[in-house]
A and B are shown apart, each in its own frame.
Chain A
């Protein structure tokens, strides 16, 4: 099997999911300079709600696609309402407060949402009913599943749609104008509160679909799943340049690739027996093709944070962004 190609495919799948979630962080940051730490929890609600709907419909004999569509039809509006509620009830009253106040509130909301999910869906790891038949295709020594193709395709469609909204529609122009100068946008007749609310709603809609896809891809859902996923997507947004929409897309996909390739090769690279100069030190372990691996692929989660730290140290404005500098 070709590890490299395989990890590229896995990385693209993961990366396009990160990108969709990262967009939610970056859009909100772009418009009100808030890191909405509760965004990961909106993704988790998306996964949980779809899981509940699919489980409820599982015995009904409906075709799997119909069940998933039902899940989406419930999860998207529910998450959008949740996103709106967060903005309206938690962040809007603090819009004129010092920046630390809404930031701490965001962390608080993330905890509150986790606890609510814990009460509704229990502390157990829930498994998604295996309703989608997954086909594996062989491509040049690597395997691609039908699910991966659907995920990558759907994410691309969503990113294109979002790009159209932001760069091609009246609402999007108003969003970018508001992000740059809300006072002047208001002079043009823009209802700034409504535009900010729409930004949260659109981000939450994307999060709902991402949650559903993550749930189905891994077959699992848990009330804490939003935390790690959220932090990684946030790292992706920072990598691309927080506040920058194409940046979130690029950052997400890059992070997915880094993670997958890292996980694929870290065992080989940190196998001390692989370095002939060190071999003599560990003769007993390394004899007969033995190995001494320092870090295994279970270190996958570390890469996102290594990337986050490197970006913050060496290029805080991210790959595509100059926003932080002129905003801070």
Chain B
């Protein structure tokens, strides 16, 4: 599904991602954990081509090189990013945000059906569909960002810290939704501070430290690894 080779991201003089390589298979959920400033967001932004200047290396999406693709074409190729901090359109209604998710699609009936499915998955959005997204709670905004990405029918979903700033109950809800989406066959790259939850959700994971991947393995192996336990699970 995704093959990344020696990806580097730099901002002017600072190099935030120093050449990472990994591959992700169709249908799997993979976690990336790491401390603040490890370069996780920079990496996801490079994958979604939000950053274009300063990215180097190779990103192959289903075999096709996308490192030079115009950013607005990526979603047509099945890649959707739910950015850090959600990035909902605050001055648009919930329904309009979801419509923007389906911006690239023309199949009206299918869009309506998907909208029904998203509302079923995230019923709190249906109740608030006319409300401005900026007036939603943080958790509801995260749900909206997720629902909006699903409206594009992505094959590969990149999630940047979906639990950020949410109360435990809401975090559980968000992750429950992520598992449902994963079970439907969508490939997921999950970046998280909450290492335990991320590794419990994903089948395998990577640990990033100052721009490099320093550990990789199955979730159970990482959860058992003393370095992970010490640095990320606070034990």
Taking the closest CB of chain B, its distance from the CB of A234, in whole angstroms, is: 23
* CB–CB B48/A187 < 8 A: yes
Residue in contact with B103 in the complex, picked from A174, A176, A180, A183, CB distance below 8 Å: A174
Residues of A within 8 Å of B92, CB to CB, are 173, 176-177, 180
Structural contact, A186 and B72, CB atoms closer than 8 A: yes
* CB contact between A177 and one of B76, B80, B100 (< 8 Å): that residue: B100
Measured in the bound complex, the distance between the Cα atoms of B100 and A181 in whole Å is 12
Q: Are A185 and B100 closer than 8 Å at their CB atoms?
A: yes
Contact string, B59-87, partner A, CB cutoff 8 A, digits 1/0? Answer: 00000000000111111100011010001
How far is B75's CA from A107's CA once the two chains are assembled, in angstroms?
38
Give the contact stretch, choosing among A8-16, A148-156, A188-196, A288-296: A188-196
Query: Within the assembled complex, what's the spacing in Å between the Cα atoms of A86 and B101?
Result: 31
**B103 contacts A188, C-beta separation under 8 Å:** yes
Q: Would A183 and B104 count as touching, CB distance under 8 A? A: no
- A176/B91 contact (C-beta < 8 A), A186-B50, A188-B152, A189-B72 known: yes
Interface status of B90 (Cβ within 8 A of chain A): yes
Q: Residue of A at shortest CB range from B81?
A: A187
Q: In whole angstroms, how far apart are the Cα atoms of A181 and B74 in the complex?
A: 18
On whether the beta carbons of B76 and A184 are closer than 8 Å, the reply is no
B39-62 CB mask vs A (1 if < 8 Å, else 0) is 000000000101000000000000
Q: Mask for A157-198, Cβ within 8 A of B = 1, else 0?
A: 000000000000010011011001101111111111000000
A322's nearest neighbour on chain B, judged by CB, is B91
Report chain A residues within 8 Å CB of B101.
188
Contact (A192, B72) CB under 8 Å given A174-B100, A186-B50: yes
Question: Which residue of B is nearest A167, CB measured?
Answer: B96
Asked whether, in the complex, the Cβ of A173 is within 8 Å of the Cβ of B96, the reply is yes
Tell me whether A184 and B83 are in contact (CB under 8 A).
Answer: yes
Q: Does A189 lie within 8 Å of B103, measured CB to CB?
A: yes
> How long is the Cα–Cα vector from A181 to B86 in the complex, in angstroms?
12
Chain A residues with Cβ below 8 Å from B71 are 186-187
* Interface size of A in residues (CB-CB distance below 8 Å): 17
* Closest A residue, CB atoms, query B134: A180
In the complex, what residue of chain B is closest to A323 when comparing beta carbons? B91
Q: How far is the CA of A292 from the CA of B222 in the complex (A)?
A: 92
What are the residues of chain A within 8 A of B103 when measuring CB–CB?
170, 173-174, 188-190
B99 adjacent to chain A (CB < 8 Å): yes
- B72 lies within 8 A of A190 (CB): yes
Contacts of B83 in A (CB 8 A): 184, 187
Contact of A188 among B70, B91, B100 (CB under 8 A): B100
Is B89 among interface residues, defined by CB-CB distance under 8 A?
A: yes
Question: Measured between alpha carbons, how far is A173 from B80 in the docked complex, in Å?
Answer: 19
Among A174, A189, A190, A191, max chain B CB count under 10 A is at: A189
Most chain A Cβ neighbours within 10 Å, of B71, B89, B104: B89
> 8 Å CB contacts to A: which residues of B103-148?
103-104, 148
Q: Closest chain A residue to B97 by CB distance?
A: A177
B96 to chain A minimum Cβ distance, whole angstroms, is: 5
- CB-CB under 8 A from B76, the residues of chain A are 189
Q: Which 8 pairs of residues, A with B, have the shortest CB-CB distance?
A: A189-B104, A189-B75, A184-B87, A188-B103, A186-B71, A188-B100, A186-B72, A177-B89
Apart from A176-B91, A186-B72, A191-B72: 19 A-B pairs, beta carbons within 8 A: A173-B99, A173-B100, A174-B100, A176-B96, A180-B91, A181-B87, A181-B89, A183-B50, A184-B89, A185-B100, A187-B71, A187-B74, A188-B101, A188-B148, A189-B72, A189-B73, A189-B74, A189-B103, A192-B72
Contact residues of A with B, CB < 8 Å? 170, 173-174, 176-177, 180-181, 183-192
Q: What are 18 sample pairs from A and B whose C-beta atoms fall under 8 A apart?
A: A173-B99, A176-B96, A177-B92, A177-B100, A180-B90, A183-B87, A184-B83, A184-B89, A187-B48, A187-B71, A187-B74, A187-B87, A188-B75, A189-B152, A190-B72, A190-B100, A190-B103, A191-B70
